Structure 1
Amino acid sequence: MNVHIQANADKRARDLSSAIQALAANFTGRVVTADAADYDAVRGIAHSNWDERPLLVARVANAADVADVIGFARRHDLEIAVRSGGHSVCGHSTCEGGVVIDLRDMQGLDIDLHAMTVWAGTGLTAGQVTQALDQHGVVVGFGDSATVGIGGITLGGGVGYLTRKLGLTIDSLIAAEIVTATGSILRVDEANHADLFWAIRGGGGNFGVVTRFQYRLNALPHFTGGPLVLPATPEVLAGFVAAAKAAPEELTTILMAMPAPPMPFLPPEIVGQTVLIGMMAYAGPVAEAQAALAPFRALATPIADLVGPGPYSMMYLPEDPSFKPTLSVRTLFKNGIDVGEAARILQHLDACDAPMRMAQLRVLGGAAARVSADATAYAHRDAEMLIGFLAMDGSAEAAARHDGWAGAGVAALGGARRGTYVNFLGHEGEDMLRKTYPEKTWARLRAIKQRYDAGNVFRRNQNISPAA
């Protein structure tokens, strides 16, 4: 019996080797296997929680390459992972023994200032697109990190520095090019495959591989932003949240309570002490920005104040590309924070031993809240705040411990009773995923999944199973 099993395994290995050679021979991009000198570098992702070894990484060059890889994987019953920036908080950007469709080489950027639109390849990062658009005084609102791929953030919704002024990333999405489980290459928009276009705006990567996005450009002739560092007291934290909720929609803030990092603008004696770093983003004239910022500066004497006029891309703080920590994150939606809850947040930070830990508070509303909850698959339009606990460390054992810490922080604030933002959803079980989508939204997503991916080919994601 063992001889037959080994013989079958050897035959499968030979068949796969021949099939990989055939795939590579007709490929415009590059097929990277374990014998390549750069295999380890190519297979790596943004976080070190996972160290998966895929059978191959397909560095696709176009939609036809994507279709070929999907067909190859289906013929050989191999799991598919899809990678844009590689920042999936669950490690969905890679897989063990399967096929990774790596979109990083798809970096086409077609800016049409007359039509005020841009087609962007899914391999681009938020920082790359933003810097290119800065030169023309226009913007698409992505998240708060330059290195995050536009694919993942867009498909999950897109909460960032312009949410209150321009809405979510998906609110600027006009169309997309997507390769389905059958290898069909489709353009989706309000007039073509409108059901699929609805689903990819918040439903994640469940429905195919998006190779290009078309966004509406937004004029941004004036911008003021940057970090405002304040003392970490419960009163200042709660006051910051109250001021952010009362601010004009032109101002979007992301507040981080965290140990002060060794940054050149911070006094050395502050480094390592818990501070509040408010990332302030005002989309409007400078004089109006100063008036909107005044209530925050009045909360306490700033430790550092680098908020000023400049290009929007300055919001993306420098990141070390070699820094690949383990990541733990848990989040919840909440209406507000009082002083008592602010104290609990700061106390909870002291209970974590990760070298990098934070509580992150994003006040929402504004333009994002004016879109109907059923207009897109992202349905948390009425949520007033998104709060997260994050920890970065250096081992899988530490990550497991910090998962518990982050979950306890969410529980201390009442728990994620309505689910959470899918792009920040960790391995939290089917029940949490179900809560993240309202009942009608979930049912509609399952029906669309059945129509376009009945076999659940795309399951390395926050998976929405096809309707029966």
Structure 2
Amino acid sequence: MKTGNTAAHAGEKTLEDIPDEDLESFVSELRGSAILPDDEEYDGARRVWNGMIDRYPAIVARCDGVADVVTAVRFVRDHGLLVAIRGGGHNVAGHATCDGGLVIDLSPMNWIDVDPEGRTARVGGGATWGSVDHETQAFGLATPGGVVSTTGVAGLTLGGGYGYLRRKHGLTCDNLQSVDVVTADGRYLTASETEREDLFWAVRGGGGNFGVVTAFEYRLHPVGPEVATVETWHSTDDAATIVRGWRDFVTTAPDEVSAEMVLWSVPDVPDFPEELRRRPVAIVAAVHCGDLAEGERVLEPLRSLGDPLFDFSGPTPYVELQQDFDPFFPAEELRYYAKSLFLDGLDDAAIDAIVARAESRPHYRVLLDIWQMGGAVARVPEDEMAYSGRQEPFLLAIDATWEEPADDDRLLEWSRSFWAEMQEYSSGGLYLNFPGFGEEKEALLERTHGREKYERLADVKTAYDPENLFRLNQNVKPRA
């Protein structure tokens, strides 16, 4: 049974170190399935969303429920195996898989239980946002989620969670009411504002450092079924003026408005005229999640900016809005690198720097996105949970996407150098769901969270994972 690539890090055991009877016992105990390198479905099971990530775990344990997760955690702990946790598999840095270890795959736990009267939803750790939106919108409800429907609920929530409802209803983690967690010692715990408050504080922005979250409970809000949107695509000939007009509007926009400014290219797909495909564009995008007529009135100044090449504005079903970007970010087919940086402001100098870089993008798929923050996000006290950066007015995201491995070095170098150049417009923090590959390691976390909050995260890590079993993440190291 012990075949395939089982290379592991120094000091970690491999499949060859595990007695046959122990492995057979583990496989038989799972209600789900254990996929090994010789199995037909192995190659599909080992892959994740980012096509750059090419790793070969010794075992993929597809967990059918909490009991399977407990069994898997105890197995890796008892045998000293490296472990990765896969929810939606969307993590850009590739933390959802590993070489030579065991992947706890939660994808079978893709369930949603909506309480429309109480306006809450319990969601399995393997769910994706498309599934959540489908179930909650049946009752005219939603919780802030991601902007690509295939994104996993778990990773997005544990890192914060930006979406189209953020300025009215906050981040995804702001709407979290409780979590169920399997910790490194195999215990099954619930954490909330009134139970294990230290753990609940930490999972809201501290990532997957503290255990395997098997269920999330969210607060829901009335949303839709349609929302007012603006989406105008402009030539970049006057991109700086368009961005300035967008900035001036969002500075005084009501909380119902969450907006982005996107510098990209017309996708090379049949939906667009052939002569315009791959042409650079500046996209003005905004969503108003309140009254539909009021939203269209409020957003009209954005729609009137410039003379767009395309105007896709208008009332949009919320479920469709959540899926708009799905075709352009497919799983496994493309190579991805996403880096981010909070901006202290968006003055003309910062805009000019971003626009200049947009003109030198090394690939037509590279997308630069300026996220408007504030509103409900900024009203949560900074120390209420682990998530950091609430007072930052804007976030710059560098989303590099390309096809060919031969372009890896060129695209990575361009993205990293741009990120470094923009430091002068930032206090240095970033959104930890867009960390690149986390190259800066602990320094990145300390800079984002600040020393005091980082030390508090280390205390929680030490309490629940003192041996750092869960280290394939934006890792907070336990105290020695």
- Quickly name the TM-score band, shorter chain normalised: over 0.9
Q: How far off is 1:264 after superposition? A: 6.0
| Residues 1:173 and 1:35: Cα distance change in structure 2 (over 3 Å) | same
What is the aligned partner in structure 2 of residue 269 from structure 1?
275
Q: Which range moved further: 32-41 or 300-309?
A: 300-309
Distance 1:263 1:256, change over 3 A: farther
Aligned amino acid, residue 308 of structure 1: G
Matched residue of 1:424: which SS? coil
Q: Residues 453 and 236 (structure 1 numbering): CA distance in 2 closer, same or farther, change over 3 Å?
A: same
Match of residue 227 from structure 1: 231
**Correspondence for 1:302:** 308
Alignment match, 1:421: 431
Separation (CA, whole Å) in 2 of partners of 1:214 and 1:151? 11
Deviations 1:161-210 (A, max 9, x none): 11101000011100011000000001111111110001000000000000
- Alpha-carbon offset, residue 226 of structure 1: 5.6
SS at match of 2:107: coil
Task: Map 1:87-106; keep pairs closer than 5 Å.
Answer: 87-106=90-109
Q: Which residue of 2 aligns with 1:60?
A: 63
TM-score w.r.t. length of structure 2: 0.91
Matches within 5 A, 1:291-440: 291-315=297-321, 316-317=323-324, 319-320=326-327, 321=330, 324-415=333-424, 417-426=427-436, 427-429=438-440, 430-440=442-452
Counterpart of 1:425, as a letter, is P
Q: Report the residue type matching 1:399 in the other structure.
A: D
1:132-170 CA-partner distances (Å, limit 9, x unpaired): 211110001112111100000000010111110100001
| CA apart distance, 1:289 | 1.0
SS at match of 2:399: strand
Q: Is the 8 A contact 1:226 1:314 kept in 2?
A: no
d(CA) in 2 for partners of 1:292 and 1:412? 35
Q: 1:299 to 1:245 in 2, by over 3 A?
A: same
> Normalising by structure 1, what TM-score?
0.94
CA-CA distance at 1:16 after TM superposition: 4.3
CA 297–58 in structure 1, closer or farther in 2 if over 3 Å, else same: same
Q: 1:27 to 1:226 in 2, by over 3 A?
A: farther
Q: More displaced, 90-99 or 388-397? A: 388-397
Corresponding residue pairs, total: 460
CA contact (8 A) 2:231 2:303 kept: no
Q: Secondary structure at the match of 1:329?
A: strand
Quick one: distance in 2 between partners of 1:322 and 1:152?
Answer: 16
What are structure 1's unaligned runs of at least 5 residues? Answer: 1-9
User: What is the deviation of 1:254?
Assistant: 2.1
Q: CA deviation at 1:447?
A: 0.3
SS at match of 1:171: helix
**Aligned residue in 2 for 1:454:** 466
- CA displacement 1:407-454 (0-9 Å, x = unmatched): 222233335533211111123313222201122110110000000000
Query: Residue 81 of structure 2 is aligned with which of 78, 81, 86?
Result: 78
Q: In the alignment, is residue 218 of structure 1 matched against residue 230 of structure 2? A: no
- The 3-state SS of whatever aligns with 2:383 is coil
Q: Which residue of 1 aligns with 2:36?
A: 33
Sequence identity of aligned pairs in percent? 34
Counterparts of residues 74-153 of structure 1 (less than 5 Å): 74-153=77-156
Q: Which residues of structure 2 form unaligned runs of 5+?
A: 1-12
* 2:287 partner amino acid: A
Match of 1:248 among 228, 251, 254: 254
| Offset from partner CA, 1:51-78 (integer Å, 9 cap, x none) | 1000000100111111111111112111
Amino acid of the structure 2 residue aligned with 1:436: T
> Which letter maps to 1:60?
C
Structure 2 counterpart of 1:136, one-letter code: F
Q: Structure 1 CA distance, aligned partners of 2:368 and 2:47?
A: 27
Q: Specify the code of the residue in structure 1 equivalent to 2:378.
A: A
Deviation (angstroms), 1:263 = 5.3
